[in-house]
Amino acid sequence: MLSEKIAANLNRSSWIRAMFEEGEKLRAIHGDDKVFDFTLGNPDTEPPESVKNALKKLAMGDMPGIHRYMNNAGFIDVREAIAAQLQKESGVPLTSEHIVMTCGAAGGLNVVLKTILNPEDEVIVLAPYFVEYLFYIDNHGGVPVIVNTSPADFQPDPQELEAHITPRTKAVIINSPNNPTGVVYSEQSLRRMADVLEAKEKEFGNTIYVLSDEPYNKLVYEGIALPQVLQIFKNSFVINSFSKSLSLPGERIGFIAVSPGLEYCNRIMDGLIFCNRTLGFVNAPAMIQKVIAGSLGEAAAVNHYREKRDILYNHLIDLGFSCIKPEGAFYLFPKALIPDDVEFAGIAQKYNLLLVPGKGFGWPGYFRLAYCVSLKTIEGSLPAFEALATEMRSKA
């Protein structure tokens, strides 16, 4: 029989499966092209040519040893390339000694949490949040503490943060560009967070780590420059992946970068490498490590995502929805037209629109649209949103 904990977690996330099954049902009845599925953050675009070419070259070539076990931190040349790229972007001096290659950001987050958490340590998660964080924290005996961002703009709220820090706080997870809102946390917000954390570290005599989950960092619009977490927070880990930036989610490739200023940096690196091994990842997949090393500065389909964002966002605003215009990632997080977001998502299904209720991200009353779908789906969905808004208005 299942463990009690997994059984409880399955129950808690059963609505996700129910939604998926509902989508399958609608597709079977109406056909794929009549169902507008905005539920999954699974990019519909292909990886860039450079990635495909590198993969072909590697597969056709005969590099001795490419398929063997390696250092659990990953190939040294790949880690060097990532360190150099991050140094260029952040201005922070980094070497391969600060990088661990991981099985995506999900693998990286689990490795960091495993490395730093003692039982019952608290990890702050900013809402709205990527729901998997709660399970990852639980995986390693931690306790999630939810702190709301500012409802006006979904930026971190330093006062809320301060009010939730206790002597057991071990870490704060931040995610910008954010899933589900698409919001980019401003430099000012992050610096204010850093001030709060520093004061609390002094008060309690503890280190509070920042885990910056950045899989969308290459998907930013209007030329926005992302604030550099490694510069702002001394005790920080950047966790990143190529799932979204290079459209490679199935290949499970990402990395952890530790801030060179991190206290006990070498010891922590030893812990990360040990946990990468003993969580059973052993090392990140070999061939795809080599492949991404040649495409580090690239981003797949940013202009396509921006076009899709603009079409959908403008249409929703014209229909009277309220929504913050996202500056990154590929999500919109509008307010539902009735207070009950689950009921709203149910009504949307009548129009073959599949949305995720905000409740799933710890933020009821809203819904998430993942617009990493085809332009045809976006354009086909516009009359359905209009019909939905008309029905809701007629009931108001």
Residue from 72, 115, 175, 176 touching ligand PLP (CB under 6 A): that is 175
Q: Extract the tokens encoding 312.
A: 């959908």
The 101-130 site mask, x for binding ligand PLP (CB under 6 A), equals: ---xxx-----------------------x
Give the three-state DSSP class for 172: strand
Q: How far is the CB of 176 from ligand PLP (least distance, A)?
A: 9
| 193 contacts ligand PLP (rule: CB under 6 A) | no
Q: How far is the CB of 396 from ligand PLP (least distance, A)?
A: 33
| 215 contacts ligand PLP (rule: CB under 6 A) | yes
Side-chain-side CA neighbours of 233 within 13 Å: the count stands at: 29
Return the number of the residue (240 or 352) whose C-beta is nearest ligand PLP: 240
Count of residues that interact with ligand PLP, criterion CB under 6 A? 13
Cα-Cα end-to-end distance for the chain:
48
| 372 contacts ligand PLP (rule: CB under 6 A) | no
Per-position DSSP letters for 299-348, written without gaps between them: -TTHHHHHHHHHHHHHHHHHTT------SBTTEE-PBPSSS-HHHHHHHH
Sites for ligand PLP among residues 297-356 (CB under 6 A): none
Q: How far is the CB of 328 from ligand PLP (least distance, A)?
A: 11
| 241 contacts ligand PLP (rule: CB under 6 A) | yes
Sites for ligand PLP among residues 68-107 (CB under 6 A): 104-106
Q: Are 13 and 361 in contact (CB under 8 A)?
A: no
Q: How far is the CB of 175 from ligand PLP (least distance, A)?
A: 5
Angle at alpha carbon of residue 53, lines to 50 and 57, rounded to 5° = 135
Distances (CA, A) of 359 to 18, 176, 324, 366: 15, 20, 18, 8
- Sign of the alpha-carbon torsion through 159, 164, 170, 174: negative
Q: How far is the CB of 213 from ligand PLP (least distance, A)?
A: 5
Give the three-state DSSP class for 142: coil
| 38 contacts ligand PLP (rule: CB under 6 A) | no
Q: How far is the CB of 177 from ligand PLP (least distance, A)?
A: 9
The one segment of 1-9, 70-78, 241-249, 297-305 that binds ligand PLP by CB under 6 A: 241-249
Helices (H), the chain: 4-12, 14-30, 49-60, 76-90, 104-116, 132-139, 158-164, 187-204, 229-232, 265-278, 286-292, 302-318, 341-349, 375-395
* Measured distance CA(315)–CA(327) in Å, rounded: 17
| 47 contacts ligand PLP (rule: CB under 6 A) | no
Peptide bond into 119 cis (omega under 30): no
Return the number of the residue (91 or 250) whose C-beta is nearest ligand PLP: 250
Residue from 142, 249, 328, 357 touching ligand PLP (CB under 6 A): that is 249
Return the number of the residue (106 or 196) whose C-beta is nearest ligand PLP: 106
Please provide residue 189's backbone torsions phi and psi, each rounded to the nearest 5 degrees: -60, -45
Residue from 254, 328, 334, 357 touching ligand PLP (CB under 6 A): that is 254
Interacting residue ranges for ligand PLP, rule: CB under 6 A? 41, 104-106, 130, 175, 179, 213, 215, 241, 243, 249, 254
